[in-house]
Structure 1
Amino acid sequence: MRPPVAQASKIVELQGGDTYDLIAGFVDKEINGTTHRMLAYNGSIPGPVIKVPQGAEITINFTNETGMKTLLHSHGVRMDNAFDGSQTTQKDMEPGETFAYKLKFPDAGAYWYHPHVRDDYAQEMGLYGNFLVVASDADYWDPVNREVPLFLDDILIEDGRITVSKERSDRTLMGRFGNVMLTNGETDYKLSVRKGDVVRFYLTNAANTRPFNFAVEGMRMKLVGGDNGAYERDAWKDAVLIGPSERAIVEVLFEKSGMFAIQNKTPDKTYALGKVIVADIPADVSYAKDFSEQRTHAATIQNIDPFRPYFDKAPDKRLLLTIDMMGGMMSSSGGHMPAPYGTEGSRSGMPDGSMMGGMGMMAGVPEGGIEWEDDRTMMNAMATPDMVKWHIIDQDTGKRDMDIEWKLKKGEPVKVRIFNDPKSAHPMQHPIHFHGQRFLVVARDGVAQTNLVWKDTVLVKAGETIDIILDPSNPGLWMAHCHILEHIEAGMMFTFKVE
C-alpha cells in the first residue's frame, strides 16, 4: 500500500494550554517528475507551521511512525530540559512510540523542529517544520502585508533516487550537498503578491550542509531579525548569508509588477530557488513608509544591555574546530599515516598550499572561508564516520567532543572563543549550535560586532575566530554541536550542564 501524497504545509494556530498531535510518517512526493518515498510531519513537507503567542506553553503529542528511531527537537526554543528531544534528555523513540513534549516559548521569532536521531537521513528525507512565535508586543515588528515562512533546502538525487542511506552515514568529510534546490519543499516555488506589498520572510536553512546567500532579484531587503528575534537595528542588504539551521527575518517591498527570482547567490553561481509574481493590482494598504525607515529595536537593546560588561573580558572557554582523518591517523597537526592503494603515505605541501593525504588532495582554506559546493564528490562520498572524525576541542583542558565537561552557573554569562582551524586537513565552515540557550556574537576575528541579535547557531568560517557571550539561563544537561548533519555523525558534539 502506497503512503499518502505529501501535502503543502499549513499554518496551525495554537494558544497557551493547547495540545497538538504531530505524527512523523511516510509520504510519496514528486520531485522533477519522479515519485519518491519520503518522510513528513503530519503528511506535509515542510511540516505544519505551528504559530503560538510569545510566552505560551503548549503540548505536542508526538508519534513516531517512521520505521526507525527518532526524537523531536525544537531548535532554538528555550524549553525545559526534559523536553529538548536530544540524547542528553531522552532515550531514542522506537517506531510506534509516543511522547508528550511540553514546550515554552519565551522568545518571539522563527524557530523550527526536526529529528535528533540520524538527522542526516531523516531531515534530508523531509522531516522539518517551523514554529512562528508571535511577539507579545504588537509593535515588535513593523506592519507588513504578508508574512511568509520559507524553508531553504537541497536534496541529493542521483539516477532517479534520493542518495542517502538509512543504514549508515556517508559524506562525513564535507557533508551532503544536494543537487536539487527546494524552497518550502518545492522545486518550482511561487509566491503571488500585489504591487506595493511589503512581505516579511521568515527564512530557515534546513539543508544538511549547504549555506544559502539569499536574495530576491533586483530587490533591496531589510534585515530585521535572526535566530532568536529582532536585531538591535534594521539593516539594508542585497543578500543575507544563512548557515545550516540558522534563521533570518527579512522584509521586501515589491514596488513593481512582474516576476522576480528568489536566489541563492554564491561567488561562482546564482541558483534559482523560486519566484515572486507581483500582480499589477495595488496593495490593500501601503506600508512603504514603514519599510523605508531603518528602525531601532529598543527592546532588543535593553535585553542585551546587562551583558555588555562581558564583551571585552578574556574568554572563559576556548574551543577549536578541527578534523582527524582515517580514524585519527592523519590529524590537523600532520604526521604519517598508512598509504592506501600504494601511494605515498605522508602529507606533503603542494604549490597551492593544499595538502596530499591518504584520501587524496586536501584543500586549503576556501575563498571567503566557505565551501559553497561539493567539489570533491568521490572522496566525500567515500567518507564515513570510521574514516573521518570531526572534533570540538576544549583548548584549556585538551578534552574533545563528548569528553568535554562544562559546568556553568545559571545567570552567569560565559564568554566562549571559537577558532576554526585553517591548518586542518580539511578547512571548512561549521555552524555551531547550542541547545536550550541563547548567545550573542560579539566579535569576529577581533572586530567588535555593532548590530547584535540573540542567536542559537553561528556559522564559523574556515580560519575564523568568533567570540560569543553565552547566556546560561536554562538549567539542565544540554548538547552543543556542529549542525552540518554528517559532522554530527562524525562525532562533532559535546555536552554542558547549567546548574
Structure 2
Amino acid sequence: TGEVVRFYITNVANSRTFNITFEDTKIKLVASDISRYEREDWIPSVVIAPGERYVVDVQFGSPGNAIIANTIQAINHFRGEFYPRVDTLSNVTVSNQKNGEDLSGSFELLRENPEMASDIENLELYFNELPDYELETLVRAQNLPTPIVISMESDTLYVPPMEWNDAMPMMNWLSTAEQVTWILKDKASGLENGDIRWQFEQGDIVKIRIFNSPDSFHPMNHPIHLHGQRFLVLNRDGSRNQNFVWKDTAILPVGSTMDILVEMSNPGEWMFHCHIAEHLHAGMSFNFVVR
C-alpha cells in the first residue's frame, strides 16, 4: 500500500493506440520519447500511440487487486453507437506489507526540468515563424470490391478523431497495399511519399505543419515518426503546447493540424513516416537527408 512504482511504457502494437488506466492509483507524467517533460504533471491515463514511449510514476492505494487496463470509448460505425470497452492488460496485487524506501513525499512533488526549460528558451524565437514545410495526410483506394465501397460510404458519415478499436475488420482483411495507398503529401510541390526528397544542413531548425485531412476516403489518426532527429510539438489546432518534451513520435487525430519544430542534428539519410505498420507498408513514408 502506498508504494510508488515507475513504469516505462512502449507501444509496440502495429496499429492500436492505447488509453492505459491504473485502477485506484495516482499517475504522475515524467517523460516521453527522448526527454523529461518541462514540468511533471498529474494525468488520468496514458494515451500512447504505436512507437511512442512514456515514463510515469504510479502510487498504488488500497490493498487488493489493481487492474491496469486499456479503457476506451469504442465505436460501432454501422449502428452509429459509442460504447465503453475495457480490456485488462495486467493485474497488480497490492499488499499491506511495506517494501523498500517510502517515496510518498517525493511522489507528491511536481518537479521542473531546467534542461528542458533551457532548450525551450533557446528555440522560442522559432515558435511563431511560418512553417518551412507543410504536409497533408490522405488515403487513396482503387479496385475495392463493391460491397466494401458501399459500406465505407456509410462508414465515413461520421469519423471520430481517434480510432480506438477496429470497427471494420472485414475491410482490413480484404484490402491490400495494391488497392489502398496511405499518403504524405508535400503541399508546396504536390509530391507524395517516396517522391519527396527534403534536404537539410546539420543544425537546421525546421518548422513543419501537418494536416490530417478529414475528407479522404477513410481518414484515420496517424502517429507521425521521424528517424534520427528530435522535435517539439508546438501546437495542435492553434492551441500552444503548455508542457514541452522532446519527441520523435506524435499522434495526429483526424481533422487536426499539428506544428512540430525539428532539430536537424543527426547527419544521414532518415525516414519520415506513419508508425502504423499497415500504413507504412502501403506507402506512407519518405526519406530526408541531413548533411
Q: How does 1:239-318 map to 2 (within 5 A)?
A: 239-267=45-73, 268-318=84-134
1:329-348 equivalences under 5 Å are: 340-341=145-146
Contact 2:273 2:285 survives alignment (8 Å): yes
Letter in 1 for 2:216: S
Residue 278 of structure 1 and its aligned partner are, at CA, apart by 1.3
Deviation at 1:410, TM superposition (A): 1.1
Q: Is residue 235–residue 294 contact of structure 1 (8 Å, CA) maintained in 2?
A: yes
Q: Displacement of 1:263 after TM fit?
A: 1.0
* Residue pair 1:225, 1:249 contacting (<8 A) in 2 also: yes
Paired residue secondary structure (2:190):
coil
Structure-2 residue corresponding to 1:121: none
**Structure 1 segments of 4+ aligned residues over 3 angstroms from their partners:** 356-362
TM superposition shift of 1:365: 4.9
Instruction: From 256, 279, 288, give the equivalent of 1:464.
Output: 256
Paired with 2:4 and 2:152, the residues of 1 have a C-alpha distance of 50
Listed one character per residue, the Cα deviations across residues 95-136 of structure 1 (whole Å, up to 9, x for unaligned) are xxxxxxxxxxxxxxxxxxxxxxxxxxxxxxxxxxxxxxxxxx
Is the contact between residue 365 and residue 463 of structure 1 (CA under 8 Å) also seen in structure 2? Answer: no
Give 1:400 shift: 0.5
Shift of 1:219: 1.4
Q: CA deviation at 1:295?
A: 0.8
Matched, 1:498 2:286: no
Contact 1:209 1:484 in 2 (8 A): yes
Q: Deviations over 1:423-450 (max 9, x none)?
A: 1111110001000000000100010001
Contact 1:365 1:462 in 2 (8 A): no
Q: What aligned pairs does 1:149-228 form with structure 2 within 5 A after superposition?
A: 195-228=1-34
**Cα contact 1:213–1:266 (8 A) shared by 2:** yes
Answer whether contact 1:419 1:463 (CA < 8 A) is retained: yes
Residue of structure 2 in register with 1:147 after alignment: none
**Cross-structure match for 1:8:** none
3-state DSSP of counterpart to 2:178:
coil
Q: Which entry has the higher C-alpha Rg, 1 or 2? A: 1
- Between the aligned partners of 1:390 and 1:289, the Cα distance in structure 2 is 49
Q: Counterparts of 1:399 and 1:497 in 2: how far apart (Å)?
A: 16
Distance verdict in 2 for CA 1:306–1:496, change over 3 Å: same
CA change 1:386–1:449 in 2 (3 A) is same
The amino acid across from 1:447 in the alignment is S
Once the two structures are superposed, residues 9-50 of structure 1 have per-residue CA deviations (whole angstroms, 9 ceiling, x without a partner) of xxxxxxxxxxxxxxxxxxxxxxxxxxxxxxxxxxxxxxxxxx
Shift of 1:280: 1.3
Task: Give the distance between the partners of 1:391 and 1:456, measured in 2 at CA.
Answer: 19
Question: SS in structure 2 opposite 1:372?
Answer: coil
Q: Give the number of aligned pairs.
A: 280
Measured in 1, the distance between the counterparts of 2:193 and 2:93 equals 47
- Partner Cα distance (1:254, 1:283) in 2: 12
- Answering whether residue 130 of structure 2 is matched by residue 375 of structure 1, we say no
Superposed CA deviations along residues 152-174 of structure 1, whole A, max 9, x for unmatched, are xxxxxxxxxxxxxxxxxxxxxxx
Q: In structure 2, what is the Cα distance between the partners aligned to 1:289 and 1:218?
A: 18
The Cα shift of 1:283 comes to 2.8
More helix by share: 2
Name the aligned partner's letter for residue 238 of structure 1.
Answer: P
Kept in 1: contact 2:38–2:114 (CA 8 A):
yes
CA spacing shift, 1:340–1:217, aligned 2, 3 Å: closer
Structure 2 equivalent of residue 363 of structure 1: 156
The structural deviation recorded for 1:495 is 0.7
Residue 358 (structure 1) shift = 6.0
Alpha-carbon distance in structure 1 between the residues aligned to 2:71 and 2:126: 36
How far, CA to CA, are the matches of 1:377 and 1:234 in structure 2?
39
Is residue 24–residue 60 contact of structure 2 (8 Å, CA) maintained in 1?
no
What CA distance in whole angstroms lies between the structure 1 residues aligned with 2:33 and 2:168?
31
Is 2:24–2:62's contact at 8 Å kept on the other side of the alignment?
A: no
Q: Deviations over 1:41-78 (max 9, x none)?
A: xxxxxxxxxxxxxxxxxxxxxxxxxxxxxxxxxxxxxx
Q: CA deviation at 1:215?
A: 1.1
Give the 3 Å change call, closer, same or farther, for CA 272–304 of structure 1 in structure 2.
same
Q: Work out the CA distance in 2 between the residues paired with 1:483 and 1:364.
A: 26
TM-score between both structures, scaled by the size of structure 2? 0.92
Q: Where do 1:386-405 residues align within 5 Å?
A: 386-405=178-197
Q: Which of these residues, 311, 320, 329, is aligned with residue 136 of structure 2?
A: 320
- The root-mean-square deviation of aligned C-alpha atoms, in Å, is 1.6
What TM-score results when the alignment is normalised by the length of structure 1? 0.54
Look up the equivalent residue of 2:197 and give its one-letter code.
E
Give the AA of the match of 1:370.
M
Q: Which amino acid aligns with 1:454?
A: W
CA contact (8 A) 1:364 1:427 kept: no
| Partners of 2:226 and 2:50 in 1: CA distance | 13
Higher relative contact order (CA 8 A, sep 6+): 2
CA contact (8 A) 2:24 2:61 kept: no
